[in-house]
Amino acid sequence: MAQTHSREFESFAAFYPYYLNEHRDRTCRRLHFAGSTVALACLAALVVTGNAWWLLGAVVSGYAFAWVGHFGFEKNRPATFRHPFYSLMGDWVMYADILRGRIPF
């Protein structure tokens, strides 16, 4: 059953194993990866066009894909609700770990 109380972490290094445990489902990880990739594309479009709406697109795409993964496949509550800063860091570390082949995609 999903943990219902908030847990405190003394560092990101202590948080990251918890974060990975919340992303055991392959489809959830793939949706995170897709959302992060779309977010990067939106940020690139922001830089190229100067249109600030792309920033909104980056945020919405990143969270939308992730939340579908958590609610639809992982069946847990996103860690973002309890640990927003560490979760954002975890998203990008997991993204890099997937690219490096350290986490199954």
pLDDT of residue 87: 96
**What pLDDT, in 10s, does the model give residues 29-51?**
999 999 999 999 999 999 999 99
The CA-CA-CA angle for residues 74, 77, 82, to 5°, reads: 140
Mean pLDDT, to the nearest integer, of 56-72? Answer: 97
1 pLDDT higher than 50: no
Q: How confident is the model at residue 6 (pLDDT cuts 50, 70, 90)?
A: low
What is d(CA 102, CA 94) in angstroms, rounded to the nearest whole number? Answer: 9
Mean pLDDT, to the nearest integer, of 72-85? Answer: 94
Helical H segments across 8-83, by residue range = 12-21, 26-49, 53-68
Instruction: Read off the amino acid at residue 98.
Output: I
